[in-house]
Chain A
């Protein structure tokens, strides 16, 4: 169901899957709220992925598919972080899907 996230007394609209409707509504506080909703406690490692996704989106205007995210993470952070296992441990319900939601990006293209 679509609805709102509550951040500092402000309502931020999201779609039926929890992705925010206006990408410009994003803030660090909002990310924490979305993460909590997903059952995730944001650590530095989570932030690293979320920030990386935001940078990727900034450059390419798309949210990368998981395979592409893994490859790009590997390139930037090395194989110990650029692998499926690591990312699924951080974001159990799908790294691309969950991390993009927290990062305030659209659902990744090709993510079913």
Chain B
């Protein structure tokens, strides 16, 4: 088997108005299906992608928010959200979806995938990634 690389998908845009959020999610699911090491980062307006309670009924687009909750099924356990981006938008962790995964090394215990990190930590996470895809 070829070497597994660390993929970091960086999401910076609001969920609607552009196709970036949906495209990113699709690419993430494809990457994970090929058993790459996948992590997601949400910063700037990208944090709105995880704010629960979307209502797309007036937008004429499918509400694809439930798909984020399937990320755990794809063994995606690292979802980094930048604290400063949340605070600048008057948001906190309580406004976000509950995203979980099952930890294989801990008797499949259900754990939160969301990790709130500082801007400084986010920069380090980006430095450590083998591949960064920005949306």
Q: Footprint of B on A, CB under 8 Å?
A: 59-62, 64-68, 71-72, 109-111
Q: Which of B's residues lie within 8 Å of A, judged by CB?
A: 26, 29-30, 32-35, 62-67, 69-70, 73-74
Residue contact A61 to B29, C-beta cutoff 8 Å: no
Verify A65–B63 contact, CB threshold 8 A: no
**Residue contact A65 to B67, C-beta cutoff 8 Å:** no
B34 to chain A, nearest CB (A): 7
Give the shortest distance, in Å, between B24 (CB) and chain A (any CB).
12
Known: A71-B73, A110-B29. 11 other contacts (CB 8 A): A59-B66, A60-B70, A61-B67, A64-B70, A65-B33, A65-B74, A67-B33, A68-B74, A109-B26, A109-B29, A109-B33
Q: What are 22 of the A-B contact pairs (CB < 8 Å)? A: A59-B66, A60-B66, A60-B69, A60-B70, A61-B62, A61-B64, A61-B66, A61-B67, A62-B29, A62-B64, A62-B67, A64-B70, A66-B33, A67-B35, A68-B70, A68-B73, A72-B73, A109-B29, A109-B30, A109-B33, A110-B29, A110-B33
Query: A72's closest neighbor in chain B, by CB?
Result: B73
CA of A111 to CA of B34 in the docked complex: distance in angstroms?
Answer: 10
Contacts of A72 in B (CB 8 A): 73
CB distance from B78 to the nearest CB of A (A): 17
The 3 closest A-B pairs by CB, nearest first: A110-B33, A65-B33, A110-B30
Bound form: Cα–Cα A6–B48 in Å:
43
The interface residues of chain B lying within 8 Å CB-to-CB of A59 are 66
A12 vs B49: C-alpha distance when bound (angstroms):
35
A64: which B residues are within 8 A, CB to CB? 70, 73
Nearest Cβ on chain A to B23's Cβ, whole angstroms: 11
